[in-house]
Structure 1
Amino acid sequence: MSLSYQQCEPEFQYHKGEDHDIVEFHVKDFRKDQLRVHMSRNGVLTVSGERPHDGTKRIRFHKEFNPPNDCKPDQIRAKLSSGVLFITIPKKRLSPQSPGQDPQTQVHRTSNGNVALPKIETKSFISRLKIKRKAAMKVVAGVAMLSLMFIVVFYVYKVYAPVIMHI
């Protein structure tokens, strides 16, 4: 028994916004587990789905998008509601400020008239490298192992080198 596929092209709308873009796919009769939203390494957003139709027939679709350059790929979210798949593509926020003004020196007035300086987020060395925690732990473990090996080799050289020289 072989399966046959019928391609479909679901209706969709792409809404652009300042903070985020939203893509709506009208995928009536598809369940959540039959849909897939994937961001590839080269920055292409792929939306696909496949569901059974009649016995050996299946219906499927595949659509690719190039999201905006200023999007946050790790924060893209998808939600299925009443036969509509909503995909939210957040954008990096550019803070509106007057030219030549440093964001760290901006002063804000509170409701009682006092001056409040903005919070400055400090980022750790690891977060500035833009690698995930698991990868960072592997790097730290590797450096620790290399350091330990260096200490052992140095100790062996320091202790056994004079013994070898006197033979």
Structure 2
Amino acid sequence: MSLSYQQCEPEFQYHKGQDHDIIEFQVKDFRKDQLRVHMSRKGVLTVSGERSHQGTKGIRFHKEFNPPNGCKPDQIRAKLSSGVLFVTIPKEVVPQPLGQEPLTQVHRASNEKATPPKSETKSFISRLKIERKTAMKVVAGVAVLSLSFIVLFYVYKIYAPVIMHI
């Protein structure tokens, strides 16, 4: 006798961090052996679960994610704790540009629930998602253009009356 399955969509939260991302799934009625986390060869992270429910009926879910650039697929870890499945996706740490302080890493005890990462205040330039050198070139170009406009304005202000009186 085969099971007939009902699809479900468990609640989940995706938390982005500096050195890793965490996906939290609310899977209260699932056991560890009923859950699966898999990274395909094409780079798609799949989280799924399947359990029997009332004899001939079953419940299952299937969710796919595109992991962040620079993730370490061989170091992805999953942990089930108190009905919550935590999937940790480590990322390669990008070296900080000179002149910026490194971000401090927050360590959690294994029995604490994960909290979303705090949003940090970002400057206008960092929100543009361009490299520091490119941003400096843009700022320098805007400064040169502004100074050129100011010089032209004063040249016009001084020489326009002289030209008009000739």
Per the normalisation by structure 1, the TM-score is 0.58
Distance 1:28 1:76 in 2: 22
- The DSSP-based 3-state class of the residue aligned with 2:70 is coil
**Aligned AA (1:25):** F
Counterpart of 1:24 in structure 2 is 24
Distance 1:66 1:97 in 2: 27
Question: In the TM superposition, what whole-angstrom CA distance separates every residue of 1:109-141 from its partner, at most 9, and x where no partner exists?
Answer: xxxxxxxxxxxxxxxxxxxxxxxxxxxxxxxxx
Counterpart of 1:7 in structure 2 is 7
- The DSSP-based 3-state class of the residue aligned with 1:10 is coil
**Aligned AA (1:33):** D
- The DSSP-based 3-state class of the residue aligned with 1:33 is helix
Alignment of 1:1-167 (within 5 A): 1-98=1-98
Deviation at 1:8, TM superposition (A): 0.4
Structure 1 residues without counterparts, runs of 5 or longer: 100-167
Which aligned segments of 4 or more residues in structure 1 are displaced greater than 6 angstroms? none
Distance 1:2 1:20 in 2: 40
Question: In the TM superposition, what whole-angstrom CA distance separates every residue of 1:133-153 from its partner, at most 9, and x where no partner exists?
Answer: xxxxxxxxxxxxxxxxxxxxx
Coordinate RMSD, CA, aligned: 1.2
Deviation at 1:98, TM superposition (A): 2.3
Distance 1:60 1:27 in 2: 11
Structure 2 residues without counterparts, runs of 5 or longer: 100-166
Percent same amino acid among aligned pairs?
83
- The DSSP-based 3-state class of the residue aligned with 1:74 is helix
Distance 2:50 2:25 in 1: 14
Per the normalisation by structure 2, the TM-score is 0.58
Equivalenced residues, count: 99
